[in-house]
Amino acid sequence: MPPLRWTPPSRFYKSHRIIRLSNPARRWLYHHLLLGGIGAFGCYLTLRYQCAAWEAAKRSEDGNCLCSSDMVDFLRYMPFNYMSNIAGQLAENESVPAWLHNWFVQAFVYWYAMDMSESEQKSDFDTFQQFYMRDWRPTARPVDAKASVVSPCDGEVLAVHTDVENTSLVQVKGLSYGMHALFQVTPPPLKTETHRRVAVVIHMRNKDFHHVIAPLSFVCEKSVYVPGSLLPTTAAGYHWIPSVLTINERLVLQGTSSGEAELPVFMALVGSTLTGRITLYTDKRVRTNYLDPPAYAVHLPYASRPRLARGERLATFNWGSSVVLVIDVPKSCTALKRKGDEVKAGEALLQF
């Protein structure tokens, strides 16, 4: 009887050759490496975003957490426009049961501690989009009759520039962006002897109403649709992404104030992540949130020059975003709101 001996271990490859990286047996490794890399990069972006949020809250004048130009280019190539389009279609999809839409509404109200007492409709929404575009009660947003300029929307004040000396606006310390890049037109020269230029940036949060009203009586001369990305414009995003307001998709309104002075008025309704569609009530032809946007800005001059009364509704964001207001005012003007303040549509913003 032959002596007992160990049987050699069986191997998948009988030739005992090294498994190459291109071999199907190692595809599981690629999946784990890819998912791990995506997760690690996502954690890195989240950390940078949270650092920018902390700096925006504690040291708003600093700019130590800004994105690099390469990071901005990477963010612009991410499919935020497609994400926003898909989110909008799901939010207004009537094929989804109404009880499911209302379940998300209740979760949303709870998460953001929203005050539904100011809403005209408080429950039983057909879609989540109907909830997000809900109207306020007529007495919930009174327009201040004594104020010279009122807030055009609800939200948080991201910036107040009370004396804009040139054609650029300061975003954070050491960083500015041009008004021509934002509005696609250059504002007329300022009458420095009697007037000064004021700019206010307001971000509409998720818990706010998303309607935009006329901050003062003015004549609308032109609207401009500017294609772009849909990067976040929250307080953290505004502090993190350089020139984010000039990168994002936006709708610009240009006009002159009513009265003898006829001062220039500029408003930019800036889109954000999940905020691609803007409804402009003065011109139903305006369309936003293109999946294949034009490569140029679309200028629509108005020969009829519609006159808009102060407090009249101008537009509605399908999701929350930001509004930039630039206006020439007398030198005696006083800004009644500061950076970081919460405002409601119709509240006093400027007094002169």
Domain layout of the chain by residue ranges: 28-64, 76-132, 149-351
User: And the tokens for 42?
Assistant: 């996502």
Unique residue bearing structure tokens 């005050």:
115
Q: Which residues lie closer than 8 Å to 10 by C-beta, 6 or more apart?
A: none
Under a CB-based contact definition with an 8 Å cutoff, are residues 202 and 337 in contact? no
- Strands (E) located in 302-343: 307-308, 313-317, 322-330, 334-335, 342-343
Pairing of strands 211-213, 168-172: unpaired
Q: Estimate to the nearest angstrom the gap between the alpha carbon of 66 and the chain centroid.
A: 17
Q: Which token pair is 236?
A: 């953290």
What confidence tier does 20 reach under pLDDT thresholds 50, 70, 90?
A: low
Task: Report how far residue 16's alpha carbon sits from residue 13's, in angstroms, rounded to the nearest whole number.
Answer: 5
- The 10s digit of each residue's pLDDT in 183-209 is 888 888 888 788 889 999 999 988 889
Task: State mean pLDDT over 110-136.
Answer: 88
- Average pLDDT of 257-271? 86
Q: What percent of the chain has pLDDT over 90?
A: 20
- Sign of the CA dihedral 234, 350, 276, 111? positive
Residues forming a β-bridge with 316: 211, 279
Q: What is d(CA 56, CA 156) in angstroms, rounded to the nearest whole number? A: 12
pLDDT digits (tens, 9 = 90+) for 129-141: 888 888 999 888 8
Confidence (pLDDT) at 202: 93
What are the beta bridge partners of residue 176? 170
pLDDT for res 25: 56
**Torsions phi, psi of 121, nearest 5?**
-115, 125
Indicate if the pLDDT at residue 1 is higher than 70. Answer: no
The answer to whether the beta carbons of residues 278 and 285 sit under 8 Å apart is no
Model confidence at 259: pLDDT above 70: yes
Higher per-residue pLDDT: 3 or 117: 117
Which of 27-36, 49-58, 73-82, 341-350 is most confident?
341-350
Block residue for tokens 């709708």:
251
C-beta separation of 308 from 282 below 8 A: yes
d(CA 215, CA 346): 8
φ, ψ (nearest 5 deg) of residue 247: -90, -35
Model confidence pLDDT, tens digit, residues 137-184: 988 889 988 888 999 999 999 889 888 877 778 776 667 788 888 888
Tokens of 56: 């925006």
**Which pLDDT tens digit goes with each residue over 86-95?**
887 888 888 8
Positions of E strands within 143-194: 149-150, 155-161, 168-172, 175-178
**Span of 16-25, 71-80, 160-169 with lowest mean pLDDT:** 16-25
> From CA 316, how far away is CA 320, in angstroms rounded?
9
Q: Does residue 267 surpass a pLDDT of 90?
A: yes
Interval 68-77 mean pLDDT: 84
* pLDDT > 90? residue 278: no
Q: Between 246 and 85, whose confidence is greater?
A: 246
Average pLDDT over the chain, rounded to whole?
83
Q: Which residue has the higher pLDDT, 118 or 9?
A: 118
CB atoms within 10 A of CB 330: 13
What are φ and ψ of residue 171, in 5° steps? -90, -55
Share of the chain above pLDDT 70, in %: 89
30: Cα separation from own chain's centroid? 36
pTM of the predicted model as reported, rounded to 2 decimal places: 0.85
**pLDDT recorded at residue 313:** 92
Mean pLDDT of 273-284: 79
Q: What is the mean pLDDT of residues 93-116?
A: 88
- According to the model, what pLDDT value does residue 3 have? 66
DSSP codes, 87-111:
HHHHHT-TTS-HHHHHHHHHHHHHH
The β-bridge partners of 323 are: 202, 269
In the predicted model, what is the mean pLDDT of residues 259-274?
Answer: 84
The one-letter amino acid at 116: M
Q: For residues 106 and 287, which has the higher predicted lDDT (pLDDT)?
A: 106
Q: Three-state DSSP class for 307?
A: strand
The lowest-confidence range among 139-148, 163-172, 225-234, 260-269 is 163-172
304/132 Cα distance (integer angstroms): 32
Query: At residue 2, does pLDDT exceed 70?
Result: no
